Amino acid sequence: MNTPRVSNPHASNPRSLPHPLGATPRPDGTLDVAVYSETADAVDVAVFEADGSERTVRLDEHTGHVFHGLVPDAGVGTRYGLRVHGPWDPSNGLRHNPANLLLDPYATAVEGEVDWSEDVFSHLHDELGTRNDADSADRMPRCVVTDRTFDWGDDTPPRTRVRDTVVYEVHVKGFTQLHPDVPEEIRGTYAGMAHPAAIAHLTDLGVTAVELLPVHQFAQDSHLLEQGLRNYWGYNSLSFLAPHGDYSSVGDGGGQVAEFKAMVKALHAAGLEVILDVVYNHTAEGNHRGPTLSFKGIDNAAYYRLVEGDEASYFDTTGTGNSLNVGHPAALQLIMDSLRYWVTEMHVDGFRFDLATTLTRQAGDAEIHSAFLTLCHQDPVLRTVKLIAEPWDTAGYQVGGFPADWSEWNGKFRDDVRDFWRGEPGTLGELAQRLTGSPDVYEGSRRSPLCSVNFITAHDGFTLHDLTAYESKHNEDNGEDGNDGESDNRSWNGGVEGETDDEAVNARRDRQRRNFLATLLLSAGVPMILGGDEIGRTQGGNNNAYCQDDEISWFDWAAVDHELLTFTRDLLTLRRENAALRAPDFRGSEGPDSVQMLRADGVGMNDDDWSDTNARSLAVRLAAQDSATFLLLLNASEGPVEFTVPEGAWTLALSSDPEQEVGADVQTLLVAGKSVTLLKC
């Protein structure tokens, strides 16, 4: 579907306009630039010529709080930055310094990286209150004016129903960097992600959406570069409208925009949605000791929450040094403009909001009726796409606290399912809640199971392989003496840590991985698979590989666990083809759409059964109209459990135990310890 064309108000107007913000090329060879700042005295556009020389043009018009003007002899391909004049008074939140070359918050492409030195700081390192007058231009990346035209052809968003959605969380680079069937020159790029070999893996697997780790332009961390490491995950945003240039096979001179669009077009053609993991809660500029790269030097108090009474300091609920000021119209407008841009111009299908709770904190406390959530709800563009919250930040946990048209990463699902399969006492009742879509979290507010994005593993933590192979984290390569990452992996691995040649231990681990995948993909809600879990991807026990842009994080396509891959494909096929395995609503125990919880002896569960802290087994009967009926048998005990099977012509649909057999007219079935079996009738 082609993006509707809107007439360009700049085309016939001889004067600059205050909107849209950013740099807009005009047919007459000039660039219309508009920058928001309540506190600046003047704004210059610094244009960098092909020979590297700089010319500056003052934005000579001022409408409201927007500085705007025309830049002659500039258009698509122009490299530029901003220099903002105004008061330097950090104690009152003012950090203007024209010596700092700044990125335009509305730039659609960024060329180059920050070259870390004291020059990119508006203050002196040893005198935080003293302005640093060193020019930062030679140390800063450039904004690039891009050609926003693109032949979308017949591109049509898949618009997959939420009840049919299966999310695959994946890193653009890591997915294809070592893929043998992707041409070497495009591995690790948007073009690599769009290659038929990459897409074939996704479609053959049966997922419906890729959730890409951050692709907004982000900055490398100076302390990582000093250690020979790099920010791999990308949760260090620098520009909210620009696709990250390092993931482009054609370089970062503007061509990354068209390459990203081509990737989206190819994924759509294969029926796959594209969801972006977006980081609007903070930026790469950090706290009062951090650099001045963009927002700080343009309008510090408009874009960041400052500590009341101590405006030199930053209010931080992200653990990164700063938080966006979502209580200010300018910051909110930037976020909303960015979201709409990625939908209308880049054709993405949804967003997963990192530390989304921070975006609801207008005045400190999280608010379900915050301006950000209200704007998303009423926006005609955003209400048509998928919105997923990471419902927590460093100041609070808000699972179940987002509006009904949002989905949420359900951390309770992860924790309770892990606890059940590792044999923790008293977890059977919690497991039942997770299997049925977490009604204890969502039903009270009349939300459906589809609000729950279920997951066992995610980028932040162990892979599925490592969850069942390591009792403790092994993050030595991160250079933090193993102090980073969560300490408790809530796993079970058979008593032997790391790789082993013990066949019995490996068999138990294989079964446990299948248990986790089966529980995930047979539960009500929206399942999310961590990319690579289906092939047994390992990070060698590193559960915080944010800085490992190497073989630790990249997919090892030469070491695919083909049996696990087949098991995952079979699970997804069963889920896709049988409505009973993807319930959109909480269901009762009677009727054509129902779920029944049974003891191993076939009797319905009662209050005493649920309160039995030693209970480790459960049978779940799942039925739906126009679907086969299923019996899910879960046994987290160390030894086998005999289940009574209801009357019916039951056959084996799937089992984590390769030795499981089901005879004709089965009445009882022995299910091995630490295994799950699914029967079909």
Q: Are 455 and 526 a contacting pair, CB within 8 Å? A: no
Q: Which two tokens stand for residue 205?
A: 């697997």
State the residue for tokens 């049966």.
206
Q: Are 251 and 192 a contacting pair, CB within 8 Å? A: no
Q: Are 110 and 252 a contacting pair, CB within 8 Å? A: yes
Is 354 tagged catalytic?
yes
Between the alpha carbon of residue 93 and those of residues 43, 49, 50, 285, 312, the distances in Å are 18, 34, 36, 14, 5
d(CA 206, CA 165): 10
φ, ψ of residue 339 to 5 degrees: the values are: -60, -45
Q: Which two tokens stand for residue 107?
A: 């730039």
Is 390 tagged catalytic?
yes
Residue partners of 333: CB distance under 8 A and separation at least 6: 21, 36
Q: Helices then strands (H, E): number in the chain? A: 15, 34
Choose, from 44, 104, 316, 354, the residue flagged as catalytic: 354
Three-class SS state of 550: coil
Q: Where are the alpha helices (DSSP H) in 270-328?
A: 295-303
What type of residue sits at position 460? D
Helix axis angle, 371-378 to 329-344, nearest 10°: 30
Q: What is the signed CA dihedral for 433, 209, 108, 331, rounded to 10 degrees?
A: -10
Residue partners of 55: CB distance under 8 A and separation at least 6: 46, 47, 49
d(CA 268, CA 156): 7
Residue partners of 12: CB distance under 8 A and separation at least 6: none
d(CA 47, CA 30): 12
Residue partners of 235: CB distance under 8 A and separation at least 6: 214, 218, 279, 320, 354, 546
d(CA 455, CA 178): 26
Cα 123 versus chain centre, distance: 34
Q: Which two tokens stand for residue 141?
A: 């990346």
Q: Which two tokens stand for residue 311?
A: 């405006």
Q: Which two tokens stand for residue 523?
A: 């539960």
Q: Are 206 and 569 a contacting pair, CB within 8 Å? A: yes
Q: Are 215 and 192 a contacting pair, CB within 8 Å? A: no
Instruction: From 516, 512, 68, 128, select the one nearest 289 (Cα to Cα).
Output: 128
Q: Which two tokens stand for residue 400?
A: 């179940």
Choose, from 169, 390, 466, 657, the residue flagged as catalytic: 390
Instruction: From 271, 121, 117, 118, select the one nearest 205 (Cα to Cα).
Output: 271
Strands 452-454 and 407-409, how do they pair?
parallel
Beta bridge partners of 79: 48, 144
Catalytic residues: 354, 390
